[in-house]
A and B are shown apart, each in its own frame.
Chain A
Amino acid sequence: MDVRGRAAPRVRVELPYHLRNLARLQGEVVLELRGEPTRRALLDALEAEHPVLRGTIRDHATGERRPFLRYFACARDVSFEPPDALLPEAVVSGAEPFLVVGSLSGG
């Protein structure tokens, strides 16, 4: 349950190929959020569920997003929104996934 007594949101997260492999995941991750449904809460929950991902998305020392990663949601780049801003309703409802995306690379 969340802070207002409602059922805790269950959000869907899509990770890049290498992070799925690292965490030994297949497909999307479904996370139950606690408290306000923010990006910070989402990433906290992701790292708590899959601790091997600590430091791979947010820098260990600063807690900031790693430079070659972006956050997408509902066809928007939400990388620069404050970490404590509420996630889009479609992500909170599970209708849309939250995407962690690596920048393109060849080679």
Chain B
Amino acid sequence: MSGVRVLVGTKKGAFLLTADGKRKKWTVEGPHFGGWEVYHVKGSPADPDRLYASQTSAWFGQIIQRSSDGGQTWETPGGEKIPDFSEGMPTGVSNKFVYDTSEETGKPLTTHKFYDGTDHPWEFKRIWHLEPSLDDPDTVYAGAEDAALFRSTDGATSWQEMAGLRGHESGSQWTPGAGGLCLHTILLDPTDRDRMYIAISAAGAFRSVDGGATWKPINRGLKSNYIPDPEAEIGHCVHRIAMNGSRPEVLFMQKHWDVMRSDDAGDTWYEVSGNLPTDFGFPIDVHAHEPDTVYVVPIKNDSEHFPPEGKLRVYRSRTGGNEWEPLTRGLPQQNCYVNVLRDAMAVDHLDPCGVYFGTTGGQVYGSSDSGDHWEAIVENLPPVLSVEVQSLP
């Protein structure tokens, strides 16, 4: 491995942080798409030069940006000029995320539940998460708010909803979390191309074993006191799910409250919060080489989204949960009241494993020794929405 590239999405643009394999000297480049919210930037595992970015705005809607040179230049797929346009509204497909209501493939769902329990129409708002295929740089999945899964097989030029998810019989009962009814997690199983997982706030986790055609809720074992039946099949505010690709049947989850683990691909879950100071939080990730080493960032509670005691601490378990140790070296241990959002933590595949996270205060911290020591790679960025990392050949 010759280096790493950290992809940072913020409230006001995207930034690329690069370093060699020592991960000591960093180059910060950006902002790309300045002034726009960039919810997520992610690289293709099949081609590290291929990046996708979700650029979004309440004013101007959703834009998908694509780079084929590692982020040096960007293009809007499908945004090319129409050569033979004659009349009528152009029917191009770029950035077009439209829910599938067709008789053939879509389920004509018209509503989900709103915060107040009333029925509410599905409205596309933004793409929270982009997950490139493990094999094909031109295939990428997108998680939307209101919750839906889209897929492109032509490099993000056109998008089709994978309507089997939203068309699940529970879809009309899904209710938004505080951040919206968002599909924020997409995990692809590297050992089984037909198996994938998604998570929705606040519907819960779902699994497909047929490449995304049909879906099953996988929330057994979750307990959430903010829903009428704490152990209901759906309604859980799952904040994030993570896996180590070498052991894909083992999943770790940071829920609204509770850190959970499944050893059977999500069929059942059990709590592994153990000695954490609080089990509320947003991100969770797994060490690249040690499938029982897990990272979380506890937050005080669901009403005070900052670290307990003003101390920014990553907690690491080397036992697959339950036994956690605080990682503090290089992190602020007083007067720190930032949050770390659900998509804002990532690990690289170098040895030793690097761990990275970004804060709502605009810092991006990195550790090149599995979390023992941390340093601020960059400070004073806009609030960080997402962090991904690429290990470069």
Contact = CB atoms under 8 A, between A and B. Distances in A.
A59 B61 contact: yes
Interface residues of B, number: 30
A54 B95 contact: yes
B90 A51 contact: yes
B90 A69 contact: no
Contact of B82 (A21, A51, A63, A68): A51
Interface in B60-87: 60-63, 76, 78-82, 85-87
A68 B59 contact: yes
Contacts of A21: 34-35
A22 interface: yes
Given A18-B36, A35-B87, A44-B88, A52 B79 contact: yes
21 contacts: A16-B59, A22-B63, A34-B86, A44-B90, A47-B90, A48-B85, A51-B79, A51-B80, A51-B90, A51-B92, A52-B63, A54-B90, A54-B96, A55-B94, A55-B96, A57-B60, A60-B98, A61-B99, A61-B124, A68-B59, A69-B60
Interface of A: 16-19, 21-22, 34-35, 40, 43-44, 47-52, 54-61, 63, 66, 68-69, 102-103, 105
Contact of A18 (B57, B79, B92, B124): B57
B178 interface: no
B60 A48 contact: no
Given A51-B92, A57-B60, 14 more contacts: A18-B36, A18-B57, A21-B34, A35-B87, A43-B89, A47-B89, A50-B81, A54-B92, A55-B61, A56-B95, A58-B89, A60-B96, A60-B98, A102-B59
Interface string B26-60: 00000000111000000000000000000001111
B141 interface: no
A102 B80 CA distance: 24
B62 A55 contact: yes
A56 B90 contact: no
Contacts of B97: 60
Interface of B: 34-36, 57-63, 76, 78-82, 85-90, 92, 94-99, 124
A2 to B, nearest CB: 12
Contacts of B95: 52, 54-56, 60
B81 A51 contact: yes
A18 B95 CA distance: 16
A19 B80 CA distance: 16
6 nearest CB pairs, A to B: A52-B79, A48-B85, A56-B60, A68-B59, A52-B76, A60-B96
A54 B94 contact: yes
Given A19-B60, A66-B61, A48 B98 contact: no
A54 B98 CA distance: 13
A35 B87 CA distance: 9
Nearest to B36: A18
A51 B94 CA distance: 8
Nearest to A66: B61
Contacts of A22: 60, 63, 76
A14 to B, nearest CB: 15
B376 to A, nearest CB: 24
A102 B36 CA distance: 14
B54 to A, nearest CB: 14
B157 to A, nearest CB: 11
A78 B57 CA distance: 23
Given A51-B82, A58-B89, A60-B97, A66 B62 contact: no
Nearest to B79: A52
B81 A66 contact: no
Contacts of B88: 44
Given A18-B36, A54-B94, A48 B62 contact: no
A62 to B, nearest CB: 10
A56 B56 CA distance: 10
Nearest to A40: B89
A57 B63 CA distance: 12
A34 to B, nearest CB: 6
A63 B89 contact: yes
A57 to B, nearest CB: 8
